[in-house]
Chains A and B, each alone.
Chain A
Amino acid sequence: MILGRIMGSVVSTIHHPIVEGAKLLVAERLDASGRPTGGYLIALDAIGAGKGETVLILDEGSGARQILNDDKAPVRSIVVGIVDDVDLNSS
């Protein structure tokens, strides 16, 4: 799983049936200290994440299919958690 921040959403009317009714979010990738790495991904929203929120994104297909409860869902990235705080131990 990776950390991301919700930067926007994607509007799509023609898509695979599994995406019907789901919310697609644009999330930028973050490093452990919360800085953007420059990358982004489009993820399905499983929990109701809002704008600017730091989230936990599962970026792996079989886990995503498990959450969607559909073993043929062509979905790889899915928002699975909202992050309150990341505490880095300074060593």
Chain B
Amino acid sequence: MLLGRVIGTVVPAMLVDELSNTPLLWIQPLDREGKPEGDPLVCADGTRMAGPGQVIYWVASREAALTLDPWFVPVDDAIVGLVDEVRLYPPEETGK
């Protein structure tokens, strides 16, 4: 599971029936400091509560489909939860 930020919404003109009620969001993956890392991707939003600018954590592959109900859907990235805060321990406390 990795961090990401919602940078937009995706409005499909046509979609398979299983995904017709699922919000699709445009996500920029983040590193652990919150800086953009890698290419943006489209995530299904299992929480249905993420909005633009929201930091989230997301999961890929089969686990992504399991965030949705029904779960047997063609999805490969999905939001599992919204992030309120990432608390990184000070370097001296982690020994590095």
Contact = CB atoms under 8 A, between A and B. Distances in A.
Interface of B is mostly: mixed
Interface of A is mostly: strand
Interface residues of B, number: 34
Contact of B88 (A14, A15, A26, A72): A26
Interface string B2-15: 11000000000000
A7 B94 contact: yes
A41 B2 contact: yes
User: In which size bucket is the chain A interface?
Assistant: 20 to 34
Contacts of B40: none
Contact of A72 (B2, B49, B60, B71): B71
Nearest to A30: B96
B96 A36 contact: yes
